[in-house]
Structure 1
């Protein structure tokens, strides 16, 4: 009987904890998201996926070089789909030194936002944080859909189909 009460208490605390963490995440809004990733949880303090660390070669439309930062939810996602609340921030560079920042692009996994495309919310910001494209951009969705089985993520392999 005592074990049941302990398990019930643990379950309630976990549920409350998940609710608190979700409440801290920003709404799918470009201004709120920019503030979150640059001030409240600075993305440049996050980690890299082990199979995509540091400055990497890239391709259009993101530019010839990029760095991809991932928050803890994304890093702790071991299989596709990524956990809700995952944030992936890509700094898009025009040079191999990582000094010519052209844009910052973001994928944000929001429960119920866009079920047809993995519940991802996309944003392309200028280097100064001005949202140029956001929401459900068909260009982003069409390109990333080629890896729908990998939860639309192109720079990290969850091992889908292996």
Structure 2
């Protein structure tokens, strides 16, 4: 157990030496107060915020093997802004994008980076495609309703099958295109 305390003291003291001593840790605790720090990657992110530069290379040099969220946290922030700027007109695609964004954040806090990136990509795809998907959904619904009304009024004519195929047992199968 003494080795762990020695290692922790080494890490804490070396980071303090490099980034300004006790004021560095004062910034860290101010930034991290109320945060949900569940793994070493999130801890490294808050240490980096307090240092105003990434500490991940230093921690990785000491064998901690952390991901560097400090250099690329903009992606999560940017996706959140894109989704929040989507109009309510684009429902349900905005809702789906929000759900995948929440799953990405949850995966990030659970230290599952590959899943977080996957959910983030799906959220971006849905958010960026929401206008097109909404128009396509509306057009499909309008077309379906129009065809239903025309069929009910008897205005659609029965078409002859365009291809008739004879099956080995002598029966015929038709395809309409």
Q: What interval of TM-score do these two structures reach, taking the shorter chain for normalisation? A: under 0.3
Compare CA radii of gyration and give the structure with the larger one: 2
Larger RCO of the pair (alpha carbons < 8 Å, separation 6+): 1
Q: TM-score, normalised by structure 1?
A: 0.20
More strand, by proportion: 1
More helix, by proportion: 2
